[in-house]
Amino acid sequence: MEANLSITYISALFLLLAPSIIAQPVVFDITKYGGAPNGDLTSSLKRAWKAACASTSASKVLVPKNTYNLKQIELNGPCKAPIELHIEGNIVAPKDPIQLNGDAQWLRFGYIDSFTLSGGATFDGHGSTAWKQNNCHKTWNCKKLSMNFGFNFMNNSIIRDITSKNSKNFHVNVLGCRNITFVKFSIKAPADSPNTDGIHIGRSTRVRILHSNIETGDDCISLGDGSRQVIVKDVTCGPGHGISVGSLGKYEYEEPVEGLIVKNCTFKNTDNGVRIKTWPGTSVKIPVSRLHFENLVMINVTNPIIIDQEYCPWNQCSKKTPSKVKISRVSFNNIKGTSTTKKGMILICSSGVPCEEVKLANINLRFQGTPATATCKNIKPQVFGNVPICTP
């Protein structure tokens, strides 16, 4: 009887474990494709990727723990099954920016469904040499420098336990993606590194950035046109320029921005906290709606809360014609901490299309021990709880 029970138990256990055993991916180790420590990983990674992408069952490209050099590379699908790039080693970019095409990214992934990038690796973009040549933070007419990562037209993908360090330009560009998640993603660059935006999102839907830390010299996270259903949660930002929607309204054929949640985030020594910015002096009409900022902590932030519909850097536009970007259904709830300027909240909306349905609730910002003030223009917010009084 006991023997029969044991056989039954073992059979049941095998049936439970069988799916996970079957689901184990086929491993493509780059060392079998010529990859060697401290060597150039580029060609071996391409060969391993090609083989893995052709696999009809789930695959994993493995880069074992060590340091590798990597030239500019593009890894595309479609692949025949889910694919994972698991990198345990540290990956180093060429120091000289001339060796990288500034119109692309150092690592570009595209047209893949069910992709995972994991392994705990640090991708070092060696940006310090390039930053000295970068004047894009002063003028639009500048030499383009390469970003660390590009994720283009990806679906159902996840990037986890990865560090992007010292990119020459933006760290990450997300374009045309659907259902992509960054979790435990770390970005590291000094506060004075120009144009090193953390994660820029454009024309993408269902993007999540979770449990991550971003230290950089520009926006920690920025949303371009066409960004929809974006969640930013449990993210620490700083140094940097905060989390920005926009700038928007400068170019023709821009798409609406809708459905943003920024929740449980901390901003440390940043130029801005949360910001929405649009250009005046253009004819671009797009809606920006359903943006929610909740449970945020500001620590020595210069401008904790901003709506700026007169955004016009380097006097490239005319403020005589108001922005035509319509901002509505925005909420700022439970935001506290310290501002390094007296005006902790600045809400400058368009005189042509004033902001509508803006809710302010429980905002407690202090400047040098006293309550920070608020400046408001072309807006009649709904106020709940303790909120600074708006003055023109």
Catalytic residues: 241
Nearest to 75 by CA among 103, 97, 47, 96: 47
Helix (H, G, I), strand (E, B) or coil at 94: coil
Q: Under a CB-based contact definition with an 8 Å cutoff, are residues 154 and 112 in contact?
A: yes
- In the beta sheet, which residues pair with residue 209? 182, 232
Q: Where are the beta strands (DSSP E) in 189-325?
A: 199-202, 205-215, 221-223, 228-237, 243-248, 257-268, 272-278, 287-301, 303-308
Question: How much of the chain is in helix, strand and coil states, percent to nearest 5?
Answer: 10, 50, 40
Q: Look-up: residue for tokens 């400047």?
A: 367
CA-CA distance, 253 to 55, in Å (whole number)? Answer: 39
Please choose, from the candidates 269, 225, 270, the residue with its C-alpha nearest in 3D space to the C-alpha of residue 251: 225
Q: How crowded is residue 57: how many other Cβ atoms within 10 Å of its Cβ?
A: 12
Antiparallel, parallel or unpaired: β 303-308 and 272-278? parallel
Task: Tell me the C-alpha distance between 32 and 4, whole Å.
Answer: 46
User: For residues 348, 351, 354 and 360, what is the CA-based torsion angle, rounded to 10 degrees?
Assistant: 20
